[in-house]
Structure 1
Amino acid sequence: MKPREQLGGIYAASITAYDAGGRVDAAALQAVMERNLREGAAGFFVGGSSGECFLLTEAERIQVFEAAAAVRGRANLIAHVGAIGTGEAVRYAKAAMALGYDFCAATAPFYYGFSPKEVCSYYYAIAEASGAPVLIYNFPGNTHKEFDVANPDYIALFRSGAILGVKQTNYNLFQMERILNLNPDLIAFDGYDETMVAGQALGCIGSIGSTFNMMLPHYKKIFTLFDAGKRQEALALQHKANNCMEAMCRVGLIPAIKYELARQGYPVGDARAPFAPLNDEQKAYVDAVRARALAPEKRGAFFLPSLQGRKRRNGRQRPPDLAPGGLF
C-alpha cells in the first residue's frame, strides 16, 4: 500500500470508450488516459459512474480494468468494484488487484434495503479479497444509502482498518468531516467536481472528477492554487469550472463529456443506452457556455444561456436549480 503522501492529487474518473459496434475500445480509453497523464493527473478512478459501470457486463467491467492497467506504475489506480452482490464485488476486487491496482473503491450495495451490518459485511469481504483497505464510494444520491456516523456498526467499520477512507460524492461535506473525525488514519477524496475547494478545505487529499477527462488542466490549477494558500484565485477558477458543469448537467453529464472528448480529438463513442447523445441544440449550448466560461477574465456577471427541455443530471444528483437564462 502506498503511503498517504503518494495518494493525493487530481484523479480522472475515467470514461469507458466504445468502438463503432458498441464494444469496449481499450485503445481509445488509453489515449484519453495518456493525455490526462501528460496534463498532470495523479491517478485514475476506473470503472465508476463516469465509466457507466452498471451498464456494463461483468466481463466488460474487467476488460476496462485490463485496459486501464496499461498506465500501471505511472499513475495511481483505483478500481471501482461496487455491485449489488458481495460475490460480484469480490470477483472485481480480485481481478483488479491481480492487475496491479493500488486499491479498490466500492459504492454501498443498493436497491435492497440492506442493514448497516449487511453493508459493513460487504466492505469487510472486499477488503479481505483485495488484501488492502477499501475506499468507500459514498454516493447516496444514486445508491440511496447513507452512512450514519452515529451508527455503531459504521463506527466500527471506519475504525477497523478495512477502510482506507471515502470518496465523498455527496454535497454533505460535514458528513465527510465527521467520518474523518472517527479515525485520523482515514483519507478523503472530493467526488464532486464542483465542490473541489470545499472538499480541500475540509481535509480532502485529492479530487476525483468526471469532467477531468476533458478539462483536467483547469482543475489541476484549482487544486494547486488552493494548496498554495491562494484561495481567492482557486475560487475564481472553481466558479468558471462550475459554469461549465452546470451547462453539461443540464443536457446530460456523461453524454456531454463524451461529446466534448470527441470534439477535442478523442472519439470514445456515445454513452450506452438509455443515455441519449446530445442533439445539435445541446451541443451548441455546451460549446457556447464552455467558450464563455473559460475565456479570459472579464468583469461582470456570468449569465447562463437558456436551453429548452433541461434534463436531470446523468449519473449523479442534480445541483440546486437555476432559472434558465438567470444569473449563474
Structure 2
Amino acid sequence: MSKFTIKDFKGVIPASLSIFDINENLDIEATKEFTKFLLGFDIHGLYLTGSTGEGFLMKSEERMETVKAVMEVAGDKIPVVVHVGNIGTKRTIELAKQAKEAGATAISSVPPFYWHFNSKQIFNYYKDIAEAVNIPMIIYNVPLAGMMSAEMIKELSQIENIKGVKYTNTDIYQIPLIKEAVGDDFMVYGGADELASSNLLVGVDGIVGSFYNLIPDLFLKIDGSIKNNEVAKAYALQKNAVRIISYLVDGGNMVAGIKAVLREAGINAGYARKPFINFYGEDQKNLARGLVDLANKYDMKNIHVIDKLREKY
C-alpha cells in the first residue's frame, strides 16, 4: 500500500521514460538508475507506462516489471501513478490490480481508443475499472485517444475512486471550468509541456509531462516562479522550454529524440522501440549539438543536461 494519497500527487511530475536497450529489451537496472537520476532533481512524483513511457509498445508483464523496478527506488520517496490504459477493460483491470499490489498511489488510463467508442462505452470503461479496484484513478483527456467533454468529466467524477483528470490539450480555458464543476477535491493535472506555466496559472494541481525527463530542473524553476508570483520570470523560462520542445518535436520523433539527447549527455535513457526511429552515431551527436547551439543562442543557463552537453561541445 502506498504511503501517499492522491492529494500528495501534485507539482512537477515526469511522465517517465521506459528504458529499453539497443535490442529493444527492457533494461531493469537502467530503469532503476534513470529513476535515481530523476529523483536527484527533487521532482514531486512519477507517472509510469503512459504514452511517453511507450506503454502501448510493451507487454503487460513488461509494464509491471517497469513499475516494480521504479517502486523499488521511488515508492517510499514520492507518489507514483501507474498508467494502466488498454483498449480492453479486462486487461486494464488486470494491470490496475497489479499496480495496486506494487504499491502505486493511484492508477490512470486513457479512454479506450481505435474503434471510436461512444460516450456510454467510455463511461462504462472507467466505471468498471473504478469499481473493480479500490485505488484512486485519474482519467485522461488527450486528443490522441479522444477528448471527453467537461460534462462527461463531471459525471465520471461522481464515481467513487475516480479522483482526478489529466488534461492534455491546448484549450486550457476548460481547466478552471472543470475545477468549478467538480470541486477542489477533484485533482486536475496539466499535460501539455509547452503550456506548463499557463496550466499552473489557471490552477492545476500538478503538471505531468514528457520533457520533464530531459529538463526537469527548468520546469521546477517554472513551478517555483509561479508559486512565488514571479510570472514574468516563469514566462521567460517557459519560452526557453518551448524552444527546446519545438526543436525536438520538429524531428517528428520526440521520445527517441529525448532519449538520444540524454544518452549523449551520458545518461542511460535507453532506446525507443520500433516503429519509433532511433538516433545513432553522428545523427545523435548532431541532434545534441543543435540543442547546445539553441541553448547558446538564447543564453540558457543552469540546465543540467544542456550543461553536460556543453562539456562535450
Please, what TM-score do these two structures have when normalized by structure 1? 0.84
Residue 84 (structure 2) aligned to one of 56, 81, 84: 81
Query: Does 2:246 align with 1:241?
Result: no
Residues 281 and 81 of structure 1: is their aligned pair in 2 closer, same or farther, counting only changes over 3 Å?
A: same
Residues 76 and 294 of structure 1: is their aligned pair in 2 closer, same or farther, counting only changes over 3 Å?
A: farther
What is the match of residue 229 of structure 2?
229
Instruction: Letter of the 2:95 partner, please give it.
Output: Y
Measured after TM superposition, the shift of residue 4 of structure 1 is 5.8
Residues 248 and 120 of structure 1: is their aligned pair in 2 closer, same or farther, counting only changes over 3 Å?
A: same
Residues 115 and 207 of structure 1: is their aligned pair in 2 closer, same or farther, counting only changes over 3 Å?
A: same
Query: Does 2:40 align with 1:38?
Result: yes
Q: Which runs of 5+ in 2 are unaligned?
A: 301-313
Q: Which runs of 5+ in 1 are unaligned?
A: 300-328
**Tell me, what secondary structure is at the counterpart of 1:59?**
helix
Measured after TM superposition, the shift of residue 281 of structure 1 is 6.8
Indicate conservation of the 8 Å contact 1:81/1:106, yes or no: yes
Measured after TM superposition, the shift of residue 289 of structure 1 is 4.3
Indicate conservation of the 8 Å contact 1:157/1:163, yes or no: yes
Q: How does 1:62-141 map to 2 (within 5 A)?
A: 62-70=64-72, 71-140=74-143
**Tell me, what secondary structure is at the counterpart of 2:229?**
coil
Indicate conservation of the 8 Å contact 2:100/2:135, yes or no: no
Residues 227 and 286 of structure 1: is their aligned pair in 2 closer, same or farther, counting only changes over 3 Å?
A: farther
How far apart are the structure 1 equivalents of 2:136 and 2:119? 18
Residues 156 and 114 of structure 1: is their aligned pair in 2 closer, same or farther, counting only changes over 3 Å?
A: same
Residues 32 and 279 of structure 1: is their aligned pair in 2 closer, same or farther, counting only changes over 3 Å?
A: closer
How far apart are the structure 2 equivalents of 1:27 and 1:3? 28
Residues 264 and 279 of structure 1: is their aligned pair in 2 closer, same or farther, counting only changes over 3 Å?
A: closer
Indicate conservation of the 8 Å contact 2:24/2:272, yes or no: no
Residues 121 and 269 of structure 1: is their aligned pair in 2 closer, same or farther, counting only changes over 3 Å?
A: same
What do residues 240-263 of structure 1 show as CA deviations (whole Å, max 9, x unaligned)? 011010011011100011101211
- Larger CA deviation: 233-242 vs 287-296: 287-296
How far apart are the structure 2 equivalents of 1:9 and 1:293? 27
What do residues 202-233 of structure 1 show as CA deviations (whole Å, max 9, x unaligned)? 11121111111121111111111111100110
What is the match of residue 318 of structure 1?
none
How far apart are the structure 2 equivalents of 1:53 and 1:290? 27
Please, what TM-score do these two structures have when normalized by structure 2? 0.88
- RMSD of aligned Cα (Å): 2.1
Query: Does 2:55 align with 1:53?
Result: yes
Instruction: Letter of the 1:274 partner, please give it.
Output: P
Indicate conservation of the 8 Å contact 1:41/1:216, yes or no: yes
What is the match of residue 220 of structure 2?
220
Q: How does 1:1-328 map to 2 (within 5 A)?
A: 2-3=4-5, 6-70=8-72, 71-140=74-143, 142-143=144-145, 145-151=146-152, 154-184=153-183, 185-251=185-251, 252-278=253-279, 283=284, 286-295=287-296
Instruction: Letter of the 1:259 partner, please give it.
Output: A
Residues 292 and 189 of structure 1: is their aligned pair in 2 closer, same or farther, counting only changes over 3 Å?
A: farther
What is the match of residue 319 of structure 1?
none
Instruction: Letter of the 1:269 partner, please give it.
Output: G
* Identity value in percent: 26
Measured after TM superposition, the shift of residue 124 of structure 1 is 1.6
How far apart are the structure 1 equivalents of 2:25 and 2:282? 28
Instruction: Letter of the 1:167 partner, please give it.
Output: K
**Tell me, what secondary structure is at the counterpart of 2:14?**
strand
Deviating beyond 3 angstroms after TM superposition, the runs of 4 or more aligned structure 1 residues are 1-5, 279-286, 292-299
How far apart are the structure 2 equivalents of 1:265 and 1:201? 34
